[in-house]
Amino acid sequence: MQSWQLPEHVADVLPTTARQLESARERLLALFRVHGYELVQPPLMEYSNSLLTHIDAGLSLKTIRVVDQLSGQQLGIRADITPQVARIDAHLLSANNGINRLCYAGSVLHARPEGFLNTREPLQAGAELYGFADIAADIELIDLMLKSVNIADFGEVLLSLGHIGVFRALADAAGLSAEQSAQLLALMQDKDAEAVKNCVESWCLDGMWVKAFALLPALYGGREVLQEARAKLPDLSAVGRALDELEAVCAAFPAQNVHIDLSELRVDNYHTGLLYAAYGSDSHDAVARGGRYDGLGAYFGRSRPATGFSFDLRSFIGRLPEIGRQSVVMVAREDAEAAKDAVAVLREQGQCVVVDYGIGHNGSDNISGHLKKIDGVWQVAEV
- The pLDDT-based confidence of 146 (bands split at 50, 70, 90) is very high
Residue 366 is predicted with a pLDDT of: 86
Mean pLDDT score of the chain: 91
Please tell me the distance from the alpha carbon of residue 252 to that of residue 199, in angstroms, as a whole number. 37
Q: Is the pLDDT of residue 267 over 60?
A: no
Residues of the chain with pLDDT > 70: what percent? 98
> What pLDDT does 190 receive?
76
User: Which pLDDT score, from 0 to 100, does residue 191 have?
Assistant: 76
Q: How many CB atoms within 10 Å of residue 42?
A: 19
pTM of the model: 0.90
Per-residue confidence at 268, pLDDT binned at 50, 70, 90?
Answer: low
% of the chain at pLDDT higher than 90: 73
Average pLDDT over residues 155-161: 95
For residue range 186-219, list pLDDT tens digits in order: 888 777 788 888 898 899 888 899 899 989 988 9
Q: Which domains does the chain possess?
A: 15-316 (3.30.930.10), 328-382 (no CATH)
> Which is more confidently placed, 383 or 288?
288
Question: What's the confidence (pLDDT) of residue 271?
Answer: 83
Band of the pLDDT at 54, cuts 50, 70, 90?
confident
**Mind listing the pLDDT tens digit for each residue in 60-83?**
889 999 999 999 999 999 999 999
- 295-343 pLDDT, tens digit per residue, is 888 888 899 999 999 999 999 999 998 888 889 999 999 999 999 999 9
Find the mean pLDDT for residues 117-144: 95
Task: Give CB contacts under 8 A, 24+ apart, made by 237-242.
Answer: 238/165, 238/168, 238/169, 238/172, 239/165, 239/166, 239/169, 239/170, 241/165, 242/163, 242/165, 242/166, 242/169, 242/273, 242/274
Would you list which residues are annotated within the binding site for L-histidine? Answer: 80-82, 124, 128, 266
- Residue 265: its pLDDT value, please? 67
Closest CA to 145 of 163, 126, 132: 126
pLDDT at position 19 is 93
How confident is the model over 21-31, as a mean pLDDT?
95
Q: What average pLDDT score do residues 144-171 get?
A: 94
Instruction: Give the per-residue pLDDT at 323.
Output: 87
d(CA 352, CA 366) in angstroms, rounded, equals 11
Q: What pLDDT score does 266 carry?
A: 64
Mean pLDDT of 269-277: 87
pLDDT of residue 333: 95
Longest CA–CA span in the chain (Å) reads 96
pLDDT for res 187: 85
- Contact between 164 and 273 under an 8 Å Cβ cutoff? The reply is yes
pLDDT tens-digit map of 96-110 = 999 999 999 999 999
Per the annotation, binding residues are 80-82, 124, 128, 266
